[in-house]
Structure 1
Amino acid sequence: MTEQQLVLLGGLWLDGSAWAGVVSELAPGRHAVAVTLPGQGDGNTSATLADQMTAVLAAVDAGAGESVVVGHSAACSLAWMAADARPGRVSKVVLIGGFPSADGERYADFFEVIDGAMPFPGWAPFEGADAADLDEPARRAFAAAAIPVPEGVARGVVALSDERRFDVPVVLVCPEFTPAQAREWIAAGDVPELARAKHVDLVDIDSGHWPMVTRPAELARILAAV
């Protein structure tokens, strides 16, 4: 039986190197692909959400078998879009610290766009549980490495069309929020895509919003288990 590959997708401002600590903690031979998304580390400042989706599907299609697609933060929507586009190739979706947007919604229109890109807005919007486990040196390093996200990505429109995505099992990793909170949001209709998903498991991790940076070993164990 061909082993499933892990396809790792970082959220806003991150390139594929954000997963280095997680990948190094995975068992030898465990095939993981940390995707550097177009516009987030490849120098393509005019990249669009469609370009990122093309890169994700290329990683899925390149696998010898099925893929577990892992999305962090905003990229939870990308991971879910991959399940929609390849329901027969994506065996599971792991969502870390985020939720998939619905069809027709903007991908990540959260912060100001300046000169065609959305730069990291500083730490003020993330004070509290999001960044509680990042010390000052870690915050400075993160901000210095943060890649402005092209407007065509941030303001791209999520497209979903295949109802078979709801059959793909989902694991929701809960960092700065608890599984109980997530269940409440889903039950209240705040996350309509997950409310319709047939198999949703919730896993807690004691971290802020970026566990691949602050808890790579624990996150690697969770990914290995799913």
Structure 2
Amino acid sequence: MTAEKTQIVLVPGFWLGEWAWEEVARSLSGQGYAVSALTLPGRGHDDPNRAVVTPQDQADAIIAALDPSAHRRVLAVHSGAAIPGTLVIDQRPELVDHVVWVDTAPSADGSAMDPDFSSEVLRLEDRYDDELAEGSMRDLTDEQLATFRERAVPEPGPVVSTPVSLTDDARHDVPSTVVCTTFPSAEFRSYAEQGVGFLKALPDYRALTYVDLPTGHWPMWSRPEELASLLAGVAAD
């Protein structure tokens, strides 16, 4: 499989736009891959519709970015982007040859990030603060943290609170790789088997691989070359 016939779509998690993938995208583009880094609906700095954007709106944007003419399409979703990402492989599984879950996991039918969330938007400072710098934000430099806080935008409230409706069992056959960063794959597997929270859908996936990349929750900044290498390896399979 030649690189130029392979598309890699990079979708950032909550609060982030395409800029978050800059280093990874540059590395993959340099290897000849067709790279599409996305800013999802509701993530623009001055998006007037932010408060009403839904998971389906974001899923539609991902579907629109996937190139049906590519010989191979890899979809990489980070963190909260797993919500629209799961809708994509449920609704259009034929468009995704491999999905990479970056420190996240596919959503379960009927689940929401926080079904009780009632605000119009979720702000970065509502979820993360300096006390987490040595956990989820491990390995980020002071400059990266400052850029994160400066460029983060509020996440649309409906994306946080709306349960996803999934209907097509074919999504479970889409080859998938889970990149485990904030805790190791052994714990991912154990928690998934116990049906814990956002990991409970993983045992239903029939072509699943786990990869360890020890760092914080944002490996596109803390381990960009390693993450790019991992994605290139998936794309080349």
TM-score (norm 1): 0.90
Partner SS, residue 66 of structure 2: helix
Which residue does the alignment assign to 2:107? 101
Which residue does the alignment assign to 1:194? 202
Which residue does the alignment assign to 2:39? 36
Task: Label 1:224 to 1:184 Cα distance change in 2 as closer, same or farther (>3 A).
Answer: same
How far does residue 127 in structure 1 lie from its aligned partner after superposition?
4.1
Equivalent residues of 2:10, 2:35 under 8 A apart? yes
> Is the deviation greater in 129-138 or in 10-19?
129-138
How far does residue 111 in structure 1 lie from its aligned partner after superposition?
9.8
Q: Percent identity?
A: 36
Task: Label 1:103 to 1:120 Cα distance change in 2 as closer, same or farther (>3 A).
Answer: same
How far does residue 29 in structure 1 lie from its aligned partner after superposition?
2.0
Which residue does the alignment assign to 2:26? 24
For 1:135 and 1:21, the matched residues in 2 are separated by 15
Partner SS, residue 94 of structure 2: coil
Equivalent residues of 2:116, 2:161 under 8 A apart? no
| Equivalent of 2:123 in 119, 128, 139 | 119
- Is 2:6 the partner of 1:4? yes
Partner SS, residue 74 of structure 1: helix
- Is 2:154 the partner of 1:152? no
Number of residue equivalences: 224
Per-residue CA deviation, residues 115-170 of structure 1 (Å, 9 max, x unaligned), is: x2111124257343311212333222211111101112222221211001111111
Per-residue CA deviation, residues 85-132 of structure 1 (Å, 9 max, x unaligned), is: 1111211110011122211111x3399765x21111242573433112
Per-residue CA deviation, residues 25-78 of structure 1 (Å, 9 max, x unaligned), is: 114320111111000126242322221111011112555344211110111232
Query: 1:60-139 counterparts in 2 under 5 A?
Result: 60-61=66-67, 63-106=69-112, 108-109=113-114, 114=119, 116-121=120-125, 122-124=128-130, 126-139=132-145
| Equivalent of 1:50 in 33, 49, 56 | 56
Q: Which has the higher helix share?
A: 2
Equivalent residues of 1:60, 1:67 under 8 A apart? yes
TM-score (norm 2): 0.86
- Is 2:190 the partner of 1:184? yes
Partner SS, residue 179 of structure 2: strand
Equivalent residues of 2:117, 2:157 under 8 A apart? no
Unaligned runs of 5+ in 1: none
For 2:67 and 2:221, the matched residues in 1 are separated by 28
Partner SS, residue 70 of structure 1: strand
Unaligned runs of 5+ in 2: none
| Equivalent of 1:223 in 210, 213, 231 | 231
How far does residue 193 in structure 1 lie from its aligned partner after superposition?
1.9
Which residue does the alignment assign to 1:13? 15
For 2:60 and 2:171, the matched residues in 1 are separated by 18
For 2:179 and 2:167, the matched residues in 1 are separated by 25
Task: Label 1:112 to 1:167 Cα distance change in 2 as closer, same or farther (>3 A).
Answer: closer
